[in-house]
Amino acid sequence: MSRTRIALSASVAAAVVLTAAACAPQPQTSATATGSASATCTTNNPSLHKSGQLTVATDSPAYSPWFDSNTPANGKGFESAVAYAVAGKLGFGQSQVKWVVEPFDNSYAPGAKNFDFDINEISNTPQRAQAVDFSTSYYTADQGVLTLANSKYATATSLGALKDARIGVQVATTSYQAVLGELKPSHQPSVFNTTNDEVNALQNGQIDAIVTDLPTVFYLAGSELNNAKILGQFGYDGGAPEEFGLLLQKGSGLTSCVSQALSALKADGTLAKITDQWLSASANVPELKP
């Protein structure tokens, strides 16, 4: 995952649609997952952490545009809306969804989980998949590069032009590997605990650019920095975008159920509507090639 931790702001990123009137999907009346071919995909699935309840995890704080007002249960923000939409396809009403806190680094560690699935911009990587299950993808994201408008790198149009730049990334994210693998910088990337720390380092001249997932780059450029410039986007691992998946305990009996729910949300257009509502399209952001 190109994991991000960003501060809330009263302003709204121009490129990220944050509709305040949005609400969680309405409860489903059926106990069986819509579009599911499996009789086990019900609110009484024996694999549930608690029968009759869907326990969903994410980190805290939970930031925009993925969540809104640090309140995952309000149904606002991209990942909150996705979680409730999946819950609805599985037959759970909004009141049957319980949110718990799971630190990002802990989510993909081996062992038993105190949740049914975790939604937290977690990239499905082969290494992580050895310890946990992932659903099919609910979002694909390229890496974005953000600098200041007055930076000497503000005119960079290729990854090669950033070779000597001091790049900042967040700890335990795939952005770090993306920088090493695609930018191949002459300086080791600076690693920060939070995106707030990255923003401060950029403003203080400690780093020249931030690399993180594109939706967060949009948010930072529009809400957290007054003189930011988005240089462009690039793929990781052979040019492929990152795939965000719902994370489940290894061998969970719910994995196929949530994947089927996501497939149904894609097929009926719900996932596309959620994406359009809460995340900006990236079509106009230039691609940074080597």
pLDDT at 51 over 50: yes
Give the pLDDT confidence of 16-26 residue by residue, as tens digits. Answer: 333 333 334 44
* List of residues 6+ apart from 128 with CB closer than 8 A: 108, 122, 134, 247
DSSP of 16-29:
S---TT--PPPPPS
| Domain 143-234 classification at class level | alpha beta
Tell me what pLDDT residue 282 has: 57
| Token pair recorded at residue 20 | 């305040």
- Per domain, the residue ranges of the chain are 1-141+241-281, 143-234
The sheet carrying 167-170 orders its strands as 190-192, 167-170, 209-213, 143-148, 228-234
Tell me what pLDDT residue 24 has: 41
Least confident of 21-35, 51-65, 86-100: 21-35
With b meaning 16 or more CB within 10 Å and e meaning fewer, what string describes 158-192? ebeebeebbbbbbeebbbbbbbeebbebeeebbbb
What CATH number was assigned to the domain covering residues 1-141+241-281?
3.40.190.10
Pairwise CA distance, residues 152 & 117, whole Å:
43
Tell me what pLDDT residue 283 has: 55
Specify the DSSP class assigned to residue 254: T
Q: What are the distances in angstroms from CA 256 to CA 47, 66, 134, 262?
A: 12, 24, 9, 10
- Helix 270-278 and helix 78-89, axial crossing angle in degrees, nearest 10: 160
* List of residues 6+ apart from 48 with CB closer than 8 A: 54, 55, 116, 254
Tell me what pLDDT residue 14 has: 35
Confidence (pTM): 0.72
166 pLDDT band (50/70/90 cuts)? very high
Q: Are 105 and 132 in contact (CB under 8 A)?
A: no
Q: Are 174 and 236 in contact (CB under 8 A)?
A: yes
Per CATH, 1-141+241-281 and 143-234 having the same topology is answered yes
Rg value, the chain, Cα = 19
